[in-house]
Amino acid sequence: MRVKVEGLTKFFGKNKALDDVSFEVADKAFTIILGPPEAGKTTTLKILAGLIKQDSGKIFFDGEEVTDIPPERRNVRMVFQSFALYPHMTVYENIAFPLKVAGVAEAEIRRRVKEIAEFLKIEKLLDRLPHNLSGGEMQRVAIARALAKESDLYLLDEPLVNLDYKLREDMRAELKRMQRELNRTIIYATPDPLEPLAIGDYVIVLNKGKVMQTGRTMDVYENPENVFVGKYFSVPPMNLIEGTLRRKGERVIFEGEGFTLDLTEIKDRITHVPADAIIGIRPHEIKFSMEKIEGGIKVKTILGEVIGSDTIVHFKLGETLVKVFVPRIYRLFGGEDAWIKMDPKSVYVFDKKTEKSVLRRLSKNG
C-alpha cells in the first residue's frame, strides 16, 4: 500500500502536536518515523489508523483519500508501545481475539493463529498467560495479534523501546525478516537512530511536530539537510563545532576556537560561505592517537568511556565538548595529551543562522 500525507496539523489544546506534516511512503517499504519524545510520531500513526482525527490535512492510501473514513474501514493494524495483552487470556486467545470480533469462522481462526505463531516462533507459547512471558515474548505476541487479521498497512509504535539491548537486536532482525516475507507496507516509529540504519528502507525525521527530512535511509544519513538531522540521526550524536568560515583566495578555511581546519578539498560542494558556521563530524570519523599526528590538533582528554572493546574519548575544542569513537580500549582518566585529525571529506557544514546545510548532496548509496 502506498501512503501519502498532505499537510497534517493537530492541536491538543494549545499545543501543536503536528505542524503541516507531509510525506509519502512507498508500497511494501519498511519506513521509519524517527524523532525524540514529543516529536509527533505516535500522533501521526494514530491519525493514519483513524484513532484520532487531524485538525487539517489529507491522507491517501493507494491514491484514494481516506481522511474521513472510520478506522474499521481502513484495513490498518497497529502495535502500540505497551504490549496491551489481555491478562486473563492465553496467548492463543489474545491472537485470536480480533479474528473472533470480525466474525471469522473457528476453523479459519485456528489455521491463522497456527500460521502466525509458527511465523513468529511462538507456537510453544500458545497455552501460556501473559504473566508467564518474557518481554520479548510479549512483544512477539502483540505483533502476532496485529498480523492475525491481514492488512495492507502495519503501524508499529515504538515496539522495542521497553526491551533490553540484546532483545532489541534480536527483534529488529525478526521484524526485518517479517516485513520481507509478508511483503507489506510497514511504518515504524522509534526514538532510536540505530533502528533506521538497521532495518529501514526509508526514514522520516520528525522534531516538534515538523518534518525535518525524508528519504532513503542512507541518503538522509549521508546528507543531513540541517543541524537537527545531523546530530540526532547519528550514533553517538554528531559533534557540532561553531566557528567562522572564510574564503582565502582559492582556499576555504574554518576557524574554530583554538584551531583551524582547511576545507578546500570540499570547496566545490560548498554552495555558499556563511561567516558564522557550524561544522559537524561523527565520532567515528575523527582520527585519534596518543602520539602526535602530522597536521593534527593537540587536545587534552577528559575521560575514556569504555564500551565493550571500543572507547568513546571525551575532550574539548575550546569550550565545545567533542567525542571520538575509537575501535580499541583506552584506559584514560583525563588530562592525557592526545591528537586528533578531521578529514574534510567527513565534515558537514551548516549555516549557523539558519542551521541548514551548505553542502551539495552526495550520492554514494541508494
Question: For 188-233, what is each residue's pLDDT tens digit?
Answer: 999 999 999 999 999 999 999 999 999 999 999 999 999 999 999 9
Domain termination residue (choose one: 203, 229, 255)? 229
Cα 246 vs. chain centroid, distance in angstroms?
Answer: 34
Residues 71 and 92 in one domain: yes
Residues 310 and 180 in one domain: no
In a domain, 358, yes or no: no
Residue 225 domain boundaries: 3-229
pLDDT at 366 exceeding the cut of 50: no
Confirm if 202 and 26 have CB atoms less than 8 A apart. yes
In a domain, 329, yes or no: yes
The sheet carrying 3-12 orders its strands as 15-25, 3-12, 56-61, 64-65
Domain termination residue (choose one: 196, 229, 262)? 229
Q: Are strands 185-190 and 153-157 parallel, antiparallel or unpaired?
A: parallel
- The CATH number that applies at residue 302 is 2.40.50.140
Beta bridge partners of 60: 4, 65
Comparing CA positions, the residue from 102, 85, 196 lying closest to residue 143 is 85
Residues 43 and 84 in one domain: yes
Domain termination residue (choose one: 229, 259, 286)? 229
- The total number of structural domains in the chain stands at 2
Residues 300 and 182 in one domain: no
State if pTM tops 0.75. Answer: yes
Residues 220 and 339 in one domain: no
Residues 168 and 254 in one domain: no
pLDDT of the residue at 83? 65
Residues 209 and 255 in one domain: no
Q: Going by C-beta distance under 8 Å and a sequence separation of 6 or more, which residues neighbour residue 131?
A: 87
Residues 274 and 315 in one domain: yes
Residues 92 and 15 in one domain: yes
Tell me the three cell numbers of residue 279.
Answer: 561544522
- The CATH number that applies at residue 35 is 3.40.50.300
Sign of CA dihedral 54, 55, 58, 64: positive
Residues 210 and 83 in one domain: yes
In a domain, 319, yes or no: yes
Question: What letter does residue 362 receive in the DSSP assignment?
Answer: P
Cite the beta strand spans of 181-309 per DSSP E.
185-190, 202-207, 210-216, 239-248, 251-256, 259-262, 276-281, 286-289, 297-307
Q: Phi/psi of residue 218, each to 5°?
A: -70, -30
**How many C-beta atoms lie closer than 10 Å to residue 2's C-beta?**
17
Across 256-263, average pLDDT: 95
Q: Are strands 153-157 and 320-326 parallel, antiparallel or unpaired?
A: unpaired
In a domain, 22, yes or no: yes
In a domain, 365, yes or no: no
Residues 170 and 27 in one domain: yes
Helical residues (DSSP H) of the chain, grouped into ranges = 41-49, 91-101, 106-119, 135-148, 165-182, 194-199, 217-222, 227-232
Confirm if 245 and 54 have CB atoms less than 8 A apart. no
pLDDT in tens, 47-106: 999 999 999 999 999 999 999 999 989 989 888 876 678 999 999 999 999 899 889 999
In a domain, 16, yes or no: yes
Residues 246 and 219 in one domain: no
Cα 344 vs. chain centroid, distance in angstroms?
Answer: 26
In a domain, 366, yes or no: no
